[in-house]
């Protein structure tokens, strides 16, 4: 055997121990935090769906009530106080541009009223705070989630 031939590494060396510790830390992180963040991820999709519902439903309280009902599937303890919905209205020039092609006065007035009620943008903000305990460690971790999602309510013109 040549003195310059590469030596066979030991089965358990510093590299393998380091990689094993990194894999264990990553596994613990996933085990501890995915159950915490998964319902929040689902809630984001539910809020986007509520913005889509706001296109058809003009009453904001009904949209928020549907949002609270749908968010109950996530297991989070949410009430209507956790959500705030706002509609950004069209400006008068935008309304005139949208209904300028309508010649009939009644139809034009109805469409203008509809656009004023619906608005052009739906903004839903939510706030959620809870205490979570980490597995195996027993440490209580207070987490706060708040987000602001916007959805377009503009008239679809395909």
pLDDT, tens digit (0-9, with 9 covering 90-100), for 94-145: 888 888 888 888 888 888 888 888 889 999 999 999 999 988 888 899 999 9
pLDDT in tens, 27-80: 999 999 999 999 999 999 999 999 999 988 889 999 999 999 999 999 898 999
In a domain, 116, yes or no: yes
Sign of the C-alpha dihedral computed for residues 53, 54, 59 and 63 taken in this order: positive
Residue 102 lies in a domain: yes
Whether residue 92 is contained in a domain is answered as: yes
- Is 8 within the bounds of a domain? no
What percent of the chain stands above pLDDT 90?
51
Residue 140 lies in a domain: yes
pLDDT in tens, 12-25: 888 889 999 999 99
Q: Is residue 62 domain-resident?
A: yes
Separation of CA 96 from chain center: 34
What's the total number of domains in the chain?
A: 1
Provide the CB-side half-sphere exposure for 18 (13 A, CA): 3
Residue with tokens 């596994």: 27
> Is residue 65 a part of any domain in this protein?
yes
Helix H or strand E encompassing 2 = none
pTM, full prediction: 0.79
How would DSSP label each residue in 63-100? HHHHHHHHHGGGT----GGGEEEEEEPPPHHHHHHHHT
Quote the domain boundaries for residue 20: 14-152
The verdict on residue 129 lying in a domain is yes
In sequence order, the 6+-apart residues with CB closer than 8 A to the CB of 93 are none
Any idea how long the chain is?
158
Question: 54: how many CB neighbours lie within 10 A of its CB?
Answer: 26
């Amino acid at each position: 055997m040549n003195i310059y031939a590469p030596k066979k590494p030991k089965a358990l060396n510093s590299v393998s121990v380091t990689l094993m510790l990194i894999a264990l830390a990553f596994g613990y992180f996933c085990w501890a935090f995915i159950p915490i963040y998964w319902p929040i991820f689902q809630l984001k999709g539910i809020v986007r769906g509520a913005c889509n519902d706001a296109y058809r439903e003009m009453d904001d309280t009904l949209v928020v009530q549907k949002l609270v009902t749908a968010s109950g599937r996530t297991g989070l303890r949410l009430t209507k106080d956790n959500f705030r919905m706002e509609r950004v209205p069209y400006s008068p020039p935008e309304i005139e541009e949208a209904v300028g092609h309508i010649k009939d006065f009644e139809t034009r007035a109805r469409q203008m009223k509809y656009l004023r009620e619906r608005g052009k943008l739906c903004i839903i903000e939510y706030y959620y705070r809870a205490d979570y305990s980490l597995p195996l460690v027993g440490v209580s971790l207070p987490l706060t989630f708040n987000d602001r999602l916007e959805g377009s309510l503009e008239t679809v013109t395909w």
